[in-house]
Structure 1
Amino acid sequence: MAETPSKIESARKWVVDHKLRAVGCLWLTGITSSIAYNWARPHMKTSVKLIHARLHAQALTIVALVGSGLVEYYDKEYGSSGPKVDRYTSQYIAHSHKD
């Protein structure tokens, strides 16, 4: 019987399958929250509020891209079935009689 994947494993798999969508959603959420936060500060000009929102969104985008890169690295290195080296080693050992 197969195990049910954990929530973290399911989220990791979704991010691996939908990298650009994950970065875009994070960017949209970040800029929306930043605009909402800055709009609540009445002493700032509108242009300054938009500049702050853009800077926050850029920082979140960089974080999301780095996170996506780390997920990709982890997935290529370890995958869902253990380290990559073990997977290939067992493949070559299993078919060594074909030489």
Structure 2
Amino acid sequence: MAEEKSALQSAREWVVEHKLRAVGALWLSGIAGSIAYNWSRPGMKTSVKLIHARLHAQALTLAALGGSALVEYYDHHSGSGSKVHQYAKQYLSSDGSSQK
């Protein structure tokens, strides 16, 4: 159980640090899966199959971006945050003031 938890935690940390790569990989797998599914369905034009694959991948990408935004929001409010947030906190605490 501890190994599964640490593997899940390490996967979560990777996704938090590499959000755009995770979204890109999800898009690529979504479009590949959708093309494979559409190609197995006879009676559709090739152009329609490609349009459907693009739409499926686009919906999956929007869901992934929404999920990424939720993770960022949760991390920001829970205090863990990404490295950028941690550096900003260190800078502000060492400076003693916020500059705009």
Q: Name the TM-score class by shorter chain.
A: 0.7 to 0.9
Q: How does 1:1-99 map to 2 (within 5 A)?
A: 6-78=6-78, 79=80
Gapped regions of structure 1 (runs ≥ 5): 81-87, 89-99
In 2, the alpha carbon distance for the partners of 1:12 and 1:54 equals 27
RMSD of aligned Cα (Å)? 2.3
Q: What is the aligned length?
A: 80
Structure holding more helix per residue:
2
Rg larger in structure: 1
TM-score under structure 1 normalisation? 0.72
After TM superposition, the score normalised by the length of structure 2 is 0.71
Query: Structure 1: which amino acid aligns with 2:66?
Result: V
Give 1:33's aligned amino acid. Answer: G
Identity in percent:
70
Give 5+ residue unaligned stretches, structure 2.
82-88, 90-100
